[in-house]
């Protein structure tokens, strides 16, 4: 098994190739008007559901600290969020290397979904939990009695990676090993996102595989363009630090 420095180094070498693939998406996707910005609701969340086991404890501690600080400074991604994205990518690389998910893709989704947990004045704490909790707009009839999204009146996306209740109930992950799968925790949410994307597409190192994974998360063409743009920007900024 590669050390965390070797793994991150290998991932960094592959960033340019991945960026080229992602750029294809940005160039070929049709130009459409962006969807209206979502605003969070203020209702408090119910206590997060208990995880059956600590599946991947401490993913945020897997990336090298010096790497996190350097890339955070170069990209503008908060260090705590970057540690979660990179930790999830490293963990997924160890578990399913053929998927090829990059930290920059996870970071791009986090940027588009919640500005890395900063939407509406929220912030990520040292433990990775977002406060106040982040919620999206109403999307349908309630399916979780408020356990995931904080309201039994209807369903809405929740957390820094904006999982809808049904998706979170299917992919909830305890990545920081605290015994709780918390949609409002960046470690848990980033790992759940990586698991979901690699289930949708087992080869994100190809243009087709990358597009399929992102479309599985959100099928809007404008969403793929936004994620591609952010992912390319992060890859380019990271490459300049070497």
Per-residue pLDDT tens over the stretch 86-125 = 999 999 999 999 999 999 999 999 999 999 999 999 999 9
pLDDT > 90: percent of the chain: 65
227 closest CA partner among 91, 112, 118, 145: 112
- 17 pLDDT above the threshold of 50: no
Q: Does residue 191 contact residue 220 with C-beta atoms inside 8 Å? A: no
State residue 7's pLDDT score: 52
| Across 219-242, average pLDDT | 95
Q: What is the pLDDT of residue 63?
A: 83
Q: Is-contact 184 133, C-beta < 8 A?
A: yes
Q: What's the pLDDT score for residue 2?
A: 38
List of E strands, 28-166: 123-124, 130-131, 135-140, 155-158
Query: Domain spans of the chain?
Result: 4-239
pLDDT classification of 64: cutoffs 50, 70, 90: confident
Output the pLDDT for position 202: 84
Strand partners, 3: none
């Amino acid at each position: 098994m590669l050390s965390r420095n070797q793994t991150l180094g290998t991932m960094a070498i592959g960033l340019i190739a991945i960026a080229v693939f992602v750029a294809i998406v940005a160039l070929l996707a049709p130009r459409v008007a962006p969807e209206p910005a979502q605003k969070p609701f203020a209702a408090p969340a119910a206590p997060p559901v208990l995880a059956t086991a600590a599946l991947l404890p401490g993913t945020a501690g897997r990336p090298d600290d010096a790497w996190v600080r350097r890339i955070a400074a170069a990209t503008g991604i908060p260090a705590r969020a970057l540690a979660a994205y990179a930790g999830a990518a490293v963990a997924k690389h160890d578990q399913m290397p053929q998927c090829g998910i990059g930290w920059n893709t996870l970071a791009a989704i986090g940027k588009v979904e919640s500005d890395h947990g900063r939407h509406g004045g929220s912030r990520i704490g040292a433990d990775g939990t977002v406060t106040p909790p982040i919620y999206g707009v109403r999307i349908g009839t309630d399916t979780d009695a408020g356990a995931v999204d904080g309201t039994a009146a209807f369903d809405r996306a929740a957390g820094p990676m904006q999982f809808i209740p049904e998706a979170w109930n299917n992919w909830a992950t305890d990545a920081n090993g605290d015994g709780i799968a918390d949609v409002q925790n960046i470690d848990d949410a980033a790992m759940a996102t990586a698991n979901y994307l690699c289930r949708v597409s087992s080869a994100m190192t190809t243009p087709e595989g990358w597009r399929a994974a992102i479309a599985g998360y959100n099928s809007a063409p404008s969403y793929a363009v936004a994620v591609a743009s952010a992912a390319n920007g992060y890859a380019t900024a990271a490459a300049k630090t070497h």
